[in-house]
Amino acid sequence: MPLSAQQPKEIPPKPTDETYEYIPFPTGEAIWSNRRYDNIWTPQEPKNTFSTIFMKGDTLWYDYKVYRKLYLCKGDTPDYSPENFWGGLREEDKKIYFRLSETYKGPHHVIPMFCDFYDPDLPQVSYDEFVYCDFNIPENPDEYYGAFFDQNPQVPMGAALGQLGVKFLRTDYEWIGERWRRVFYFDSFPLDMRWIEGIGCDRGFGYNSAPVALGDYMIWDLNLLCFFQDGKQLYHCTDFNVPFAGSENCFPADFFPFSIDEAISDGSISVRFENGRLVWDKAIFSRILLYDMQARCVFRAETVGMNSVEPKSSIPTGIYLYCADDASGNRHTGKVSIP
């Protein structure tokens, strides 16, 4: 059946706490794609850094515990070499335990690391096991999670920051990855975050829920761009909140520059997908580019005198970001869904 003819899956009723069934963390093939945005506090230009965590299901026996091995790679191609062995993950009683690898040779700051709050008196990384997420619902969530973040090595300053600490808000259910998942909501500085059952933190695998300083500057925004399990995309980020100027490929350039001044927001001008083509009205675009949720350019076309263009048939279904230059030199950005 063609994709265009498929009927959308009917969403079942939202579960209750009594009817909901817990979703465990993956133990086989899984991918977490992360984005880190460094803001203007750095003397360097603001930039995006992308990384990917791969799990293939192989295990490691350590300290009488079995861990699923995780590999950290810069791009979207898995490299299971010992140098990229980043850490181990295990689950017990709805608690997700994590331990960093002592043999990882890559840069620790490729993604937001646990325990890397910059302070000469604090270790930059910890190789001790700790609880990354706890998906149990305690009797007193405020007290429990206050102590959790205050004592957890992934948050060196944690709840002791007072108003800048982490505050539990509530739990609810969201339709994510074709099923209802329990979500834990937290108010934290500088970014709110969610824990999603079976996936992890929506701020990226390894986000420590505290200001993460790297040298003389700090991270401004963090995202889990997408999550795959057994080859199927179950999550993608939909709140890309800063329009980007564009780049041919964020790998291997290792950064993706933003330019707020060059982008404009005009609700009357947008790009949509109709009958196999990208279509736009009320503008004359000289070119258009499509980026996937890892900010890789997957399609570009010169579009002078056109109001539509047919993208490559090999582009997978999903949410894409577009950049389009008009005849006046303005740049328009937005999202478009390719079904």
Beta strands at 213-214 and 331-338: parallel, antiparallel or unpaired: unpaired
Same domain, 164 and 192: yes
With respect to residue 251, please indicate whether it lies within any of the assigned structural domains.
no
Same domain, 186 and 316: no
Domains: count for the chain = 2
With respect to residue 2, please indicate whether it lies within any of the assigned structural domains.
no
**What pLDDT was estimated at residue 247?**
28
**What pLDDT was estimated at residue 268?**
52
Q: Which two tokens stand for residue 229?
A: 């399990």
**What pLDDT was estimated at residue 9?**
62
Domain that holds residue 36: 9-239
Instruction: Find the farthest-apart pair of alpha carbons in the chain and give their distance in angstroms, rounded.
Output: 67
For residue 262, the domain's CATH number is 2.60.40.3080
Alpha carbon 336 to chain centroid, angstroms:
18
As a whole-number percent, the residues of the chain with pLDDT over 70 amount to 63
Same domain, 230 and 265: no
As a whole-number percent, the residues of the chain with pLDDT over 90 amount to 17
CA distance 272 to 98: 42
**What pLDDT was estimated at residue 151?**
62
**What pLDDT was estimated at residue 332?**
73
With respect to residue 297, please indicate whether it lies within any of the assigned structural domains.
yes
Same domain, 72 and 175: yes
pLDDT per position as a tens digit, 292-337: 766 677 888 888 888 889 888 878 888 787 878 777 666 677 778 8
Q: Answer whether residue 129 shows pLDDT above 70.
A: yes
With respect to residue 55, please indicate whether it lies within any of the assigned structural domains.
yes
Lowest-confidence region among 79-93, 110-124, 162-176, 200-214: 110-124
Three-state SS annotation for the chain? CCHHHCCCCCCCCCCCCCCCCCCCCCCCCEEEEEEEEECCCCCCCCEEEEEEEEEEEEEEEECCEEEEEEEEECCCCCCCCHHHEEEEEEEECCEEEEEECCCCCCCCCCCCCCCCCCCCCCCCCCCCCEEEEECCCCCCHHHHHHHHHHHCCCCCCHHHHHHHCCEEEEEEEEECCCCEEEEEEEECCCCCEEEECCCEECCCCCCCCCCCEECCEEEEEEEEEEEEECCEEEEECCCCCCCECCCCCHHHHCCEEECCCCEECCCCCCEEEECCEEEECCCCEEEEEEECCCCCEEEEEECCCCCEECCCCCCCCEEEEEEEEECCCCEEEEEEEEC
Same domain, 91 and 189: yes
**What pLDDT was estimated at residue 303?**
86
Are residues 299 and 256 in contact, defined by beta-carbon separation less than 8 angstroms? no
